Amino acid sequence: MKIANKHPQEALRLKELRSYSILDSLPEKDYDNLTAIAAEICETPISLVTLLDDNRQWFKSHHGLSISETPIEVSFCSHTIVEDKDILIVQDSRCDDRFNENPFVTGDPGVVFYAGVPLVSPKGLPWELYVLRTTNRRI
């Protein structure tokens, strides 16, 4: 498993994220509707809206997964925000050196496919991430 590098503008990205006062906020129906619809459209059992702070990924909304955060070291999303792509797609995480030893690949929930799209702030920084994960279907 490879831990992602920090975003090139990490300090500024975190400052902007914290300015929104969204971390650890209560669930919101609009976000939950979004993840439920995304999971249905993409036929995936898990869909998340994820925010990355300096030491964790926190799920603003989680559909199909009961936990609300994980350490950033096991975050697929941290790789997505440092890649220079509109979307990061991992067809089979078991065959990808970045993720094949990740506990969410080797254990529960058994992530195989991952697609992550950075949501970019008005200042051009990726502080929020919308992700789809599945163990049984590739899109």
If one counts the domains in the chain, the total is 1
Q: List, for residues 27-77, the tens digit of each pLDDT value.
A: 999 999 988 988 888 788 898 999 999 999 999 999 999 999 999 999 999
- What is the maximal distance between C-alpha atoms in the chain? 38
Q: How far apart are the first and last CA of the chain?
A: 24
- Residue 68 in domain: yes
CATH number of the structural domain spanning residue 100: 3.30.450.40
Q: Which amino acid makes up residue 20?
A: Y
Q: List, for residues 109-139, the tens digit of each pLDDT value.
A: 889 988 888 888 888 888 655 555 555 544 3
